[in-house]
Structure 1
Amino acid sequence: MANHLDLEEQEQLDQLKHFWNTWGTPITAVLLVVMGGLAAWNGYQYWQNRQASQAAALLDAVEVAVQARDQARVELAFGDLKSKYAGTPQADMGAFASAKAMQDSGNLDAAKSALTWVAEHSSDAGYKAIAKLRLSAILLEQKDYAAALQQLQGNFPAEFEGVVADRKGDLLVLLDRRADAIAEYKIAFRTLDETIEYRRLVEIKLNALGVDPLSGSSTASTSQELKK
């Protein structure tokens, strides 16, 4: 019986050796690839966490400088943030904080520069949209209506469509392009949720131009004006 068991064990060992000789190298290669992939993923996760941590520290530095109203420190901290961690959300938030501080202090050129950086470099479509809207507001304040309107060209995320159209309408009125302004206000009115007060403001703007957005009708005086 013992010899019989020994023979079976020997056969199993022989089969195992044969299997390993045939498939050992491919299996080892696959294991190396898998283990290498796991190591790379863990390394990437570590790198990302480290990037986020360091970016957060610089964002804190920007916010502290903003609270202290120290423009030089704001520019220095934000400069480090965008140069070292340009791909992080913290860099975008630092830009917004810096732009607000600069705008409040009257340094509109620095504010525009920070917002332009977000509009051009952010990987987040929402942040880009916000930056362009704020840029258009500053340019409107500077009475550069054409440049402000240019910031609102192109595609925006769907949730910004109504706000962008409303801002376009404001600028087109200032540029004396009433028909175009009405068209944008109508888009804003149609797009904005009817439960929010903002939509009521757009309705008032359309009424001021002689248009009832609910019926789509316009007064005779406005129609005559639009034909000019």
Structure 2
Amino acid sequence: MAVLDVQEQEQVEAFKAWWKSNGKWLLIVLAVFAIGFAATQGWKYYKTNQLTEASILYGELEKQLVSNDPKRINDAGQAVIDKFGSTAYAPRAALIMAQVNIDNNDATRAKSQLEWVIQHAEEGGLQNVARLKMVSMLLDEKKYSEALKLLEEKHPESFTGLYADLKGDVLNAQGHIAEARAAYQLALNKMDAESKYRNLVKMKLDALGDAK
């Protein structure tokens, strides 16, 4: 079995610390911005005034993020959902609110918002982002069976690496090392070779050591 030396272990811990502080926004960024362009193409079919009003409210939500005030952020985000729940702005607002509530230890509200995205978002990418974030929360709560059930949901090939990585985390937490190793290896195979996220997965795989 391979054993990490002290320097390698320190690198693993340092990367995990970086990920805890910065990586939590990665999926949100992917959803809100990377997927945003494709969504914008569909918005042209909405009435111009509806889009304008929805964008104004969404802009207010973005402004409130600077305040770091959960109540103001939730109020602004909920206004988008209540008035323009059928637009592509609504699930993005829900994802942002969910992350803010996770950061402020309001798991109940965050889960409700993530579930709203899963149930109502028309874009599969946003649904998968919400589902993965929900799995991460369930993992923290040690609700492993629920987490694995969500990870069994169908998803696009582009999300396979992320699903496999989280599955590896759940299995590892359960003590299923061989299965966790296989999941991490699948994640590596599906991720871009230059991805920093992939580097983290590689470190987790190495930390498990070689299969006997």
TM-score with structure 1 length normalisation?
Answer: 0.65
**Alignment deviations for residues 159-202 of structure 1 (CA, whole Å, 9 cap, x no partner):** 21111101110111111222321221121121112233433333
Gaps of 5+ in 2: 1-42
Cα 1:67/1:45, change in 2 over 3 Å: closer
Check conservation: 1:129, 1:156, Cα contact below 8 A. Answer: yes
Distance in 2 separating the partners of 1:100 and 1:168: 21
Distance in 2 separating the partners of 1:74 and 1:126: 23
What is the CA-CA distance between 1:99 and the residue it aligns to? Answer: 1.3
Check conservation: 1:119, 1:128, Cα contact below 8 A. Answer: yes
Q: Does 1:111 align with 2:107?
A: no
Find the counterpart in structure 2 of residue 55 from structure 1.
54
Which one-letter code corresponds to 2:57 in the other structure? L
What is the CA-CA distance between 1:95 and the residue it aligns to? Answer: 0.9
Which one-letter code corresponds to 2:77 in the other structure? F
Distance in 1 separating the partners of 2:62 and 2:44: 27
Cα 1:207/1:100, change in 2 over 3 Å: closer
1:159 is paired with a residue whose SS is: helix
Distance in 2 separating the partners of 1:83 and 1:180: 43
What pairs with 1:14-29 in structure 2 (closer than 5 Å)?
none
Find the counterpart in structure 2 of residue 208 from structure 1.
207
Find the counterpart in structure 2 of residue 79 from structure 1.
78
**Alignment deviations for residues 70-104 of structure 1 (CA, whole Å, 9 cap, x no partner):** 43333333333223322222112211221122122
Find the counterpart in structure 2 of residue 153 from structure 1.
152
Find the counterpart in structure 1 of residue 125 from structure 2.
126
What pairs with 1:163-174 in structure 2 (closer than 5 Å)?
163-174=162-173
* Range with bigger deviation, 161-170 or 50-59: 50-59
Cα 1:52/1:187, change in 2 over 3 Å: same
What is the CA-CA distance between 1:139 and the residue it aligns to? Answer: 2.1
Q: Does 1:91 align with 2:90?
A: yes
Aligned-pair RMSD on alpha carbons?
Answer: 2.3
Report percent identity of matched pairs.
32
Structure 1 outlier segments of 4+, above 4 Å? 44-47
2:82 is paired with a residue whose SS is: helix
Find the counterpart in structure 1 of residue 3 from structure 2.
none
Higher RCO (CA 8 Å, separation ≥ 6 residues):
2
Check conservation: 1:99, 1:115, Cα contact below 8 A. Answer: yes
Cα 1:169/1:84, change in 2 over 3 Å: same
What is the CA-CA distance between 1:109 and the residue it aligns to? Answer: 1.4
| Higher alpha-carbon Rg | 1
Distance in 2 separating the partners of 1:204 and 1:101: 28
Distance in 2 separating the partners of 1:46 and 1:160: 28
* Aligned residues between the structures: 170
